[in-house]
Structure 1
Amino acid sequence: MLAFKVTTVGASAGFILTKEAMARLKVQKGDTVYLTEAPDGSYRLTPYDPDFERQMTLAEEIMHEDREILRALAK
């Protein structure tokens, strides 16, 4: 487990990711990370946008279900 101390960043509050934390999250300076709530009420810090992932899953399902229509439209 990694622990971080909340500190003042300008007029806001934030925390600094260590090199180890950045490596584990596979993020670099300037990347966006998301704090999401899990079903059990806990929170998760992730580099993946859960809304985008949900949209891509829906798009893949539509493309799979309607592949014949999409193939005809592509001609």
Structure 2
Amino acid sequence: MNTVIRKIGNSEGVILPKDLLQSLNLKAGDSVVVSQDKDGIVLRKAGDKFEEQMAAAREIMDRYKVALQKLAE
């Protein structure tokens, strides 16, 4: 599935097709967590705080992987 980044007011965003939103049980107004991994962008429905905290921890661990490896030695 391809989509385009569009100008929305003073921001930019991606329009997600209705079929995709329905299959993921998402609707307008739902909160999502956006993170980045080695393959690209990950978009998840915001659930409990634990999942959000784990996503943030993974992002930090990926960003500082080398430093964390050196500290572990």
- Structure 1 length normalisation: TM-score? 0.54
| Percent of paired sites with the same residue | 26
SS state of the match for residue 23, structure 2?
Answer: helix
Structure whose CA Rg is larger: 1
**Cα deviations across residues 7-64 of structure 1 (Å, max 9, x unaligned)?**
01001100111111201221111001222223x3532111135853276xxxxxxxxx
Which structure has the highest strand share of the two?
A: 2
Aligned counterpart, 1:4: 3
Where does the alignment leave 5 or more consecutive residues of structure 2 unmatched? 54-73
* C-alpha RMSD over aligned residues: 2.4
Change (3 A) 1:49 1:3: farther
Aligned counterpart, 1:46: 44
Q: Following superposition, which runs of at least 4 residues in structure 1 exceed 6 angstroms of deviation?
A: none
Where does the alignment leave 5 or more consecutive residues of structure 1 unmatched? 56-75
Aligned counterpart, 2:23: 24
